[in-house]
Structure 1
């Protein structure tokens, strides 16, 4: 670890600046504060809210606030926790409004500072028990706290404050599945779940979703206790924090099997008996599962009859994921004719009908909940747009993925059609996204940067809150556009490195901080590798371009030595070593499983980014395989021709153009954006040896060309798989070459009449392939416009 000694003068300067230029508001010093709570607050919140307040302050300051049985004398400050229905507390009037303010609405609260009788009082006034907890969370998010700030503990609130608020959406939760497919949760203890659920509540979440049964037969090697025990413990934790406890529970068998159906009903009822709190059952219609709603709905009705015997207020939900048009229509007809009172609402998740359509078709008496995938980056509901292939191949589907601005826009787009959300999450790597969704679910107009500052103030400290928020936002920007051109990656890395050294004594074991550092370092390492490895390939192609028939084998060997310098002379060795240390530190601190060799993940796709940290970012694996094929050719002319094709693949010469269809770096003429072109990057368990451009595709790309020579003849060449129904300026052309296999070519002559104006538009019709699995459908990966001599 680096010593912070060299940075002490700089840190001292920062502190002097903060002291010399204070906030205009007079802060309230709470180091000697006591707390009081209304006797009308019921248990367990009467114990929970003060515990959250005092324990979180003690962790950060070393100060333990004391409970006062009477209003303290003198000017000692007081934190008072009361219900909006309280008129007085210890003979002091509670400063509430006329009964119409947000603090009287479900889960709402008012925070108001008051000076009376010499005491400065911070009132936390909750509409109900949740309001008291959420108000406590607001206070904790806005306190300045430190164990040593200019030689003394710091605990203060910028005052005065008078704020009242209530949530816009009643459902604000996250799935925390204690199962082997999670990349983190399966390694957690009961205490870690308790702390994490507490922290979600501090940021406005009111629900947790568990995974009850289907993982029991495949336990994780990381389990601290059996899954059955943990789901009971999670229910107890939700009871403690007054959080709704949901469970996600599919039927992965045929419901027409009476024996299995009865066993499933009995399994559910046993679970219902065991847990002290259960609020909602969410049954995904067809993801997983393959049952018709005519079987699903009666099954859920019977489930609900058993559920309410043990939890009378619990609700039943269904999603239409995986249902076809006939099944969806059947469901709505059932609602129309049967009007089931046992059903609470519909959940919309990946594979569901459009959310607006669902809200419009769903009768008003039923609620509508979103199930957003905030945990994945590719092969998912909300893939990163224009994701550089280098990240898709290395960070992949499930990496540390703060996307605050993207998810703020996604939430704003879909939330108005819903009553809220419980997100899909498979680990701690999406922690920032959970906080963003929780707080925008409370206030859809909340400033994104402000949310990030509150996150960093609470989890790190007030000194670096703004800078750390900028780091998080920088990580999101790192994923936008061509990586090699993104100099912001370097700046995010430098800023993170600086604050890491400055704050390492306080933050080195903070897993949220470790995640930010890890991503910043990983991004920079990947960028530096990409730049170098692409340059090595250019040099290798130059060797191939200069080759002739006299020494084909030597040319190939020389080119391979050049491109393989990525392995024999690796770059950024110190940074690579730090990534290993950070990944191991994250496994120790939070159980994040980033290495198959060390951390025993379920499979490499589950966030195991250290398995792919050195995946080739040039075509050296493909070249090695191609050279072996070429060496087996019997004709030197064919061998040389193939080498020339490889050499000029991405550089077809003056007046000609090449586009890697779904590469943000190498497709400048492509107008369309694939929904998720990086899906095929997971061939061969993420270790595909295919040419990099072949691992990206679109089905119906559109390209525009201009500044063409009106006197020249052009040929369009396409690589991909299957069919390519090409049009130029809307006119369907007939091919002169039409190979359908991967990495073979199709070619069309462009009529001179179409290039007379110096420009053309190229489009593709989609072939009818609905009978094929999507992996077998036609793909277009590379397009050339070749000017003929």
Structure 2
């Protein structure tokens, strides 16, 4: 034995066998391969069975080791995992470790303490819960922190920690309905596994959708919706998790017959549920009833609810209520002080959060309903998202956004008692975990959360690497796609991980992350290639249009259509297709309408849009057909010149694609309501790409203008454009309101004398219109005459 080996042996021996003055042995790690499970009889059923089963099953999946429960304290030298309540003094004659600290989180609701204790008789890992949920969440902590593989089962130690949640409500909506992009394809076993996974990461509530879409069954349903919602209730009962249900009224509550039918439907559901804790009634989205009808209806619901679930609560959101209706609600609270109402739910379309908490009497709780599932046209759109992603990945792609949602949650959570998120599929899995963990501990670092996620779902050797890879995927969506060279580095990173870990190929969470890495890279390569083709086509139009117009258009189309005839990176496309097939097989993710029978193109159909044009070849082909109908050669030449010079108006002139992060350098505003990425013709619009991004009232700054030059502002859009230059409203020279038509203004030379102008637009009063009918501005030129 050499000197180095001797030193290592001595250190190891000391770590394992050194006896300290208190009589305990010091162990740096807790090996659990030979452990047995002991359960305190004071833990109520079903958690007495659920927690040991969860621990044993999850360990066996990863290690092949089956830990068994024993009724008696084992002999000396053994390793034990003991489940006890904080009120227990001892377990089978062995004293439960006492926390001498002043603060004892394990005594607070859902809190727990984890202690590793090594004595001469062996090692005990204590899971000490304040209540049955504390036992479950303590078990989750152990599973998230274990090192597990076929040769290893150990917990870094020694361990002595205690914690309790910051917010009492931490849940997620899992609607078994065709609208969801994956849940509707799940079996009961898949729901139980997913609910278990969420519980391991601190979730204490699940929200179902019992009635809203029963009339539209999914082709993917494994069992009828009415049966599944009862099964989910049973799962929640077994895991001691709150079961919420989202129950809008899309009928007119003034119709007595329909109202009674709605009440009867609710009562039948309440009667059938083994567990039901909360009824959430959205005031709007959907629904269109005045609160003077809603409040008596909810009171009647509560009366029925109490017959079957005496501790259950009723909640309301003010989504969609106008000012008069909101005021009516608060007046109702002041006058009636209903004790049957538990609180309000704040979601998209609700009055401002701070205002809601201020106006809501203290005896009522406030729950957030955050949309963590969508990326565009939603509550939390991806800021400065490149249009290429918006048009291909759409609303429901694999969307890990941990750092963004950590900020969003931190801004809102202090006003609330917690959250139950809106989710339409498993694609937002990381976001769910982030919200649950930060709902438990708002100070927990995002990287630590990702470490625990990666360790549990992908194995402890990948803890840091996968966490970093997830962070890189979030950065992929940061700013102009063409300029984000980090996407290629991220792809290389994930490709290396993929090759090195073939056993994860069937893991659906792994498949989701790989899909994003491949899709992001494929989209960027397509963008660079296809926009390069368009630039070449524009050159052809400029050079040839003065002679043979038909030849110019034909050559331009041939070049730009190479995106289809000679596509870039076909190997990446093939892998994306393969991963989409794998995800449908593993988790029922429906990435295509035709192939996987998704509910709609907005519902996660990334495969259907994987080759959506990232240049204007569709629009160009349609415009050329229009050019051919023009009467004179001069008209045709003029239009072709406008097309070829669209984004390059010439020296001293400027062009901005208003909502493009890469082509709108002078635009100072972003849309905060996610309506700046159009959704026309189910996402297959043939219009110019720039017209599919827009704002209602953009702000632009222009510098380094020629004080001796005359300028014209040209705008393409729809509806009104109430333009101001340096705060002064200008009268238009040309003013067309039809879609994709032109408006023009002459800029007074007095405004440009200092070489700078500020351009703004007054927002027209169009609150009565759907956003699709609102005025919009897509392209702006400042043209030097």
TM-score, reference length from structure 2: 0.95
User: 1:749 aligned to 2:749?
Assistant: no
Give the 3-state SS of the residue equivalent to 2:170 in structure 1.
strand
Q: Find the counterpart in structure 1 of residue 241 from structure 2.
A: 243
Q: Find the counterpart in structure 1 of residue 213 from structure 2.
A: 215
Distance 1:746 1:420 in 2: 48
After TM superposition, give the deviation of residue 405 of structure 1 in Å: 0.4
2:201 to 187, 194, 203: 203
Q: Find the counterpart in structure 1 of residue 566 from structure 2.
A: 569
Give the 3-state SS of the residue equivalent to 1:464 in structure 2.
helix
Structure 1's 716 and 755: CA in aligned 2 closer, same or farther, altered over 3 A? same
Distance 2:563 2:688 in 1: 16
- Determine if contact 2:114/2:127 at 8 Å carries over to the other structure: yes
Distance 2:759 2:676 in 1: 24
Distance 2:219 2:738 in 1: 42
- Determine if contact 2:455/2:463 at 8 Å carries over to the other structure: yes
Q: Find the counterpart in structure 1 of residue 469 from structure 2.
A: 471
Q: Find the counterpart in structure 2 of residue 138 from structure 1.
A: 141
- Aligned pairs (5 A) from 1:400-419: 400-419=398-417
Q: Find the counterpart in structure 1 of residue 722 from structure 2.
A: 725
After TM superposition, give the deviation of residue 680 of structure 1 in Å: 4.4
- Determine if contact 2:27/2:118 at 8 Å carries over to the other structure: no
Deviation larger for 542-551 or 290-299: 542-551
- Determine if contact 2:176/2:208 at 8 Å carries over to the other structure: yes
Distance 2:276 2:245 in 1: 8
In structure 1, the gaps of 5 or more residues are 1-18, 148-152
- Determine if contact 2:379/2:673 at 8 Å carries over to the other structure: no
Give the 3-state SS of the residue equivalent to 2:652 in structure 1.
coil
After TM superposition, give the deviation of residue 480 of structure 1 in Å: 1.0
Q: Find the counterpart in structure 1 of residue 105 from structure 2.
A: 102
- Determine if contact 2:56/2:66 at 8 Å carries over to the other structure: yes
1:737 to 731, 734, 738: 734
- Determine if contact 2:387/2:677 at 8 Å carries over to the other structure: no
Distance 2:722 2:83 in 1: 69
- Determine if contact 1:386/1:664 at 8 Å carries over to the other structure: yes
Distance 1:220 1:679 in 2: 31
- Determine if contact 1:54/1:65 at 8 Å carries over to the other structure: yes
Q: Find the counterpart in structure 2 of residue 150 from structure 1.
A: none
User: 1:683 aligned to 2:685?
Assistant: no
Q: Find the counterpart in structure 2 of residue 355 from structure 1.
A: 353
- Determine if contact 1:677/1:697 at 8 Å carries over to the other structure: no
Structure 1's 175 and 160: CA in aligned 2 closer, same or farther, altered over 3 A? same
- Determine if contact 2:723/2:730 at 8 Å carries over to the other structure: yes
Give CA-to-partner distance per residue, 1:134-166, whole Å, 9 cap, x none. 00000000000011xxxxx11011101111100
After TM superposition, give the deviation of residue 709 of structure 1 in Å: 1.9
Structure 1's 81 and 42: CA in aligned 2 closer, same or farther, altered over 3 A? same
- Determine if contact 1:678/1:695 at 8 Å carries over to the other structure: no
User: 1:553 aligned to 2:556?
Assistant: no
After TM superposition, give the deviation of residue 768 of structure 1 in Å: 2.4
User: 1:700 aligned to 2:700?
Assistant: no
Give CA-to-partner distance per residue, 1:491-529, whole Å, 9 cap, x none. 111111111111112x11100000000111011000000
Give CA-to-partner distance per residue, 1:522-574, whole Å, 9 cap, x none. 11000000000000000001111112343111101110111000000011111
- Aligned pairs (5 A) from 1:122-271: 122-147=125-150, 153-271=151-269
Q: Find the counterpart in structure 2 of residue 12 from structure 1.
A: none
- Determine if contact 1:25/1:158 at 8 Å carries over to the other structure: no
Distance 1:135 1:641 in 2: 73
User: 1:384 aligned to 2:382?
Assistant: yes
In structure 2, the gaps of 5 or more residues are 1-11, 16-25
Give the 3-state SS of the residue equivalent to 2:406 in structure 1.
helix
2:30 to 24, 28, 40: 28
Give CA-to-partner distance per residue, 1:616-647, whole Å, 9 cap, x none. 00000000000000000111101000000000
Give CA-to-partner distance per residue, 1:370-393, whole Å, 9 cap, x none. 000000001111111111000110
User: 1:522 aligned to 2:519?
Assistant: yes
- Determine if contact 1:662/1:677 at 8 Å carries over to the other structure: no
Deviation larger for 188-197 or 489-498: 489-498
Distance 1:261 1:192 in 2: 35
Distance 2:610 2:582 in 1: 17
Distance 1:584 1:170 in 2: 39
Structure 1's 562 and 440: CA in aligned 2 closer, same or farther, altered over 3 A? same
Give the 3-state SS of the residue equivalent to 2:622 in structure 1.
helix
Q: Find the counterpart in structure 2 of residue 286 from structure 1.
A: 284
Q: Find the counterpart in structure 1 of residue 658 from structure 2.
A: 661
- Determine if contact 1:677/1:696 at 8 Å carries over to the other structure: no
Give CA-to-partner distance per residue, 1:18-38, whole Å, 9 cap, x none. x9xx9x982222111112111
Give the 3-state SS of the residue equivalent to 1:77 in structure 2.
strand
1:84 to 83, 86, 104: 86
Deviation larger for 296-305 or 92-101: 92-101
Distance 2:177 2:223 in 1: 11
- Determine if contact 1:549/1:636 at 8 Å carries over to the other structure: no
- Determine if contact 2:30/2:116 at 8 Å carries over to the other structure: no
Q: Find the counterpart in structure 2 of residue 451 from structure 1.
A: 449
TM-score, reference length from structure 1: 0.95
Distance 1:470 1:134 in 2: 26
Structure 1's 677 and 106: CA in aligned 2 closer, same or farther, altered over 3 A? closer
- Determine if contact 2:545/2:640 at 8 Å carries over to the other structure: no
- Determine if contact 2:169/2:420 at 8 Å carries over to the other structure: yes
Q: Find the counterpart in structure 1 of residue 634 from structure 2.
A: 637
Q: Find the counterpart in structure 1 of residue 302 from structure 2.
A: 304
Give the 3-state SS of the residue equivalent to 1:682 in structure 2.
coil
After TM superposition, give the deviation of residue 743 of structure 1 in Å: 2.3
Give CA-to-partner distance per residue, 1:409-451, whole Å, 9 cap, x none. 0000111111000000010000000000000000111100100
1:39 to 15, 38, 41: 41
After TM superposition, give the deviation of residue 677 of structure 1 in Å: 5.1
Distance 2:767 2:289 in 1: 21
- Determine if contact 1:659/1:782 at 8 Å carries over to the other structure: yes
Give the 3-state SS of the residue equivalent to 2:492 in structure 1.
helix
- Determine if contact 2:676/2:695 at 8 Å carries over to the other structure: no
Distance 2:585 2:313 in 1: 38
- Determine if contact 1:29/1:155 at 8 Å carries over to the other structure: yes
After TM superposition, give the deviation of residue 243 of structure 1 in Å: 0.2
- Determine if contact 1:549/1:637 at 8 Å carries over to the other structure: no
- Determine if contact 1:250/1:288 at 8 Å carries over to the other structure: yes
Distance 2:94 2:745 in 1: 86
Aligned length: 761
Q: Find the counterpart in structure 2 of residue 421 from structure 1.
A: 419
The two structures, once aligned, show a CA RMSD in angstroms of 1.4
1:714 to 695, 711, 715: 711
2:313 to 315, 321, 326: 315
Give the 3-state SS of the residue equivalent to 1:357 in structure 2.
helix
- Determine if contact 2:390/2:677 at 8 Å carries over to the other structure: no
Distance 1:236 1:765 in 2: 55
Q: Find the counterpart in structure 2 of residue 775 from structure 1.
A: 772
Distance 1:747 1:285 in 2: 44
Q: Find the counterpart in structure 2 of residue 14 from structure 1.
A: none
